Amino acid sequence: MELEFLRYSCQIALPGFSEATQLRLQHARVLVVGAGGLGCPAAQYLAASGIGTLGIADFDVVSVSNLHRQILFAPADAGKKKAPLACERLQAQNPGITVIAHDMRVTSQNVMELVSQYDVIVDGTDNFDTRYLLNDAGVLAGKPVVYGAIYQFEGQVAVWNIKNQKGTRSPNYRDLFPEVDSTQIPNCAEGGVIPTLAGIIGCMQANEVIKYITETGELLAGKVLIFDAQTMQSRIIKIGEVTHTAINRLKETIFIPTVSVDELKSQIAAKSVRLVDVRTERERDEFDIGGEHIPLDELDGYIDGGDETVNTVFYCGTGKRSGEAVKDIMKKYPGARVFSLDGGLKAWIEQWD
């Protein structure tokens, strides 16, 4: 066996595998969007398996609260940009592949150019706007999207937009969830997640990518695998063989104006800001940084365009719900001076404690 294949000898020895199969992996280009709890393990095993070109897209920085599940990073990495750091670690793991950092926020303005460079998209995101954006871009570009999601003790995996033998496409995310009210579904930082679940689901995503590229096994196309980490039981829900959604264009990304922790502290000191906490009563009782308390589901009846001379800053645990508040107000009052606290109370506590 040639030296270049020695690293992969155990997988080449698999039934149905060969050196020719390994070459498919080496010629493949895979994009992982989100270097978080799912993206870290998925990227690690894709790099180890010999994916020829691996792209990592993420605009965020490492946070201490990420470390229990984002296993590419260490405490000394707090505050550093995730994408270039993840690529540095992955390149050290396998010097024989090409790793590309996309240190950027994926938006409707850049997503089509980004996905055009790759054969497969791995959805490792933690917000619904980007998840729908990747799904729709995958459909428009004719690229498969390997979906993964985790919350508390439950995870999901599926493969969207696979070309069928008759030339049709398998279902995509909008066949399962045409629209989701993301304000009602907390993310991992707010609802919690067991760290091992991120590793399990991320590895399953990598497994589906390898199966797709090497044309081995049965893909999770037209179905969703649901895994329960507490009972170690899984079930597969069948959606169908063909998509029934018509996606003709991308939904434009709405840019949510934010303020940093430093900026907010300065505004509070100058008494030049209206501060609004959109969390629940229970969260408010545990800790707050002042301001009015209007839970997100009650916001519509209390907030208008606001005072044009004063900034209104909304905050929550991570910036997710406050971002939704800002987005909704901007739709109704385009000129409103509304902002979301970037990173939420998590960023406030980490920076000031």
Write the DSSP string, 280-315. -HHHHHH---SSEE--GGGGGGT--S--TTSEEEEE
Domain 3-238 superfamily per CATH: NAD(P)-binding Rossmann-like Domain (3.40.50.720)
Question: In angstroms, how far is CA 324 from the centroid of its own chain?
Answer: 17
Asked if residue 308 has pLDDT above 90, the reply is no
Asked if residue 96 has pLDDT above 90, the reply is yes
Catalytic position from the list 10, 40, 203, 316: 316
Give the Cα separation of 171 and 5 in Å (integer): 36
Asked if residue 152 has pLDDT above 80, the reply is yes
Q: In this structure, how many other beta carbons lie within 10 angstroms of the beta carbon of residue 106?
A: 23
Active-site residue, 40 included: no
Average pLDDT over residues 224-238: 97
CA nearest neighbour of 35 among 90, 83, 100: 83
Domain boundaries in the chain? 3-238, 258-352
Domain 258-352 superfamily per CATH: Rhodanese-like domain (3.40.250.10)
How do residues 246-304 score in pLDDT, each as one tens digit?
Answer: 999 998 888 889 999 999 999 999 988 999 999 999 999 999 999 999 999 888 766 66
Catalytic position from the list 10, 87, 188, 203: 188
Asked if residue 352 has pLDDT above 70, the reply is no
Active-site residue, 316 included: yes
